[in-house]
C-alpha cells in the first residue's frame, strides 16, 4: 500500500498518511505524493474541501523522517510544501480539515496547524520536542505555535518541550473539537460536509482574503480589495444563493 492514500468522495478529497509503523514520519516519497495531492485539490473544481488524516492509533505524524536525511527533493517544504519548512510553501486554496490522533510532534504538529479546522481524538498529544531533544533545525512550527496559541502557552511548549493534551488544546482554541478516537473520522467528515454545504467559490474567496491579510494591521485589511471576492459578485453561485433564499430552499452550488 502507498504511504499516502488519496481518494475523492463526493466533493471531499481524503489524504491519509499511511506509515503507522514509523509513526507517520514523512520521508521524501511521502513529501512528493503530498505535493501531488495538494496540486490535485487546488486544480480540481469538483473538490471543495479536504480531510488530512493518518493511519494508526499511536501517531498523526512525528514530523520528518530524519533517518532518511533532512534534504527533500528540490528543497520541497515538509508536508508536500504545505508547511513552508525547508522549501517553498504551497498554498492550499480549498479548506482543509485535519483529523489528529496520538502524537503530533514537531513537523507533524506544524502540519496539523496548517489546517483550517482541527478535530482531535482524546489521546492526542501536541508537542515541540526540539529544545528538549537538543535538535534545532527549521523553526517554522514555533512561528505558527506562537500565532495560534496564547503567547506564554506557546513559549512554555517551545522552551520546555512539554506536550499538550487534546483537552488543553481545546481550551486554548488550538482545535475545534475533541472526540473519542473511534469517532474521529466521522467528526472530520461532519466538518467537511458543513464546508461543502456552503458556496464553494465564496468559501475559497473568504479563505484567501482572511489569510492574505492575517498579520497585517486591521486598517490595511479593511482597505484591501480582494479580487476573488469582487469576482464572486458575477458568478452563477451568487445568484443561486439569492434565488434559494427568496424561494426558501437549499441552494444548489455549481462552483461557477
Which residues carry out catalysis?
110, 130
The helix (H) or strand (E) run that includes residue 15 is: strand 12-17
Provide the grid cell at 150: 496564547
d(C-alpha 74, C-alpha 89), whole Å: 12
Provide the sign of the torsion angle of the four alpha carbons 183, 185, 186, 187, taken in this order. positive
Strand pairing of 164-165 and 125-127?
antiparallel
d(C-alpha 236, C-alpha 255), whole Å: 8
In angstroms, what CA-CA distances link 127 with 31, 150, 222, 232, 255?
A: 21, 15, 35, 40, 38
Amino acid at each position: 500500500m502507498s504511504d499516502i492514500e488519496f481518494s475523492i468522495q463526493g466533493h471531499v478529497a481524503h489524504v491519509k498518511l499511511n506509515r503507522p509503523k514509523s509513526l507517520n514520519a514523512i520521508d521524501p516519497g511521502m513529501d512528493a505524493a503530498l505535493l501531488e495531492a495538494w496540486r490535485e485539490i487546488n486544480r480540481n473544481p469538483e473538490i471543495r474541501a479536504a480531510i488530512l488524516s493518518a493511519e494508526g492509533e499511536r501517531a498523526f505524524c512525528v514530523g520528518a523522517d530524519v533517518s532518511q536525511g533532512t534534504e527533500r527533493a528540490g528543497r520541497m517544504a515538509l508536508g508536500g510544501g504545505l508547511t513552508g519548512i525547508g522549501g517553498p510553501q504551497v498554498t492550499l486554496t480549498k479548506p482543509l480539515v485535519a483529523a489528529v490522533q496520538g502524537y503530533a510532534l514537531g513537523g507533524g504538529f506544524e502540519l496539523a496547524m496548517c489546517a483550517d479546522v482541527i478535530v482531535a481524538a482524546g489521546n492526542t498529544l501536541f508537542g515541540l520536542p526540539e529544545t528538549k531533544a537538543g535538535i534545532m533545525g527549521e523553526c517554522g512550527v514555533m512561528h505558527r505555535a506562537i500565532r495560534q496559541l496564547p503567547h506564554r502557552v506557546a513559549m512554555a511548549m517551545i522552551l520546555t518541550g512539554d506536550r499538550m493534551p487534546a483537552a488543553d488544546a481545546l481550551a486554548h482554541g488550538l482545535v475545534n473539537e475533541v472526540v473519542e478516537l473511534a469517532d474521529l473520522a466521522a467528526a472530520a467528515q461532519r466538518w467537511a460536509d458543513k464546508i461543502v454545504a456552503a458556496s464553494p467559490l465564496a468559501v475559497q474567496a473568504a479563505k484567501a482574503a482572511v489569510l492574505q491579510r492575517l498579520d497585517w494591521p486591521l486598517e490595511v485589511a479593511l482597505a484591501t480589495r480582494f479580487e476573488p471576492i469582487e469576482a464572486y459578485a458575477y458568478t452563477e453561485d451568487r445568484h443561486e444563493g439569492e434565488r434559494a433564499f427568496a424561494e426558501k430552499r437549499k441552494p444548489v452550488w455549481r462552483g461557477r
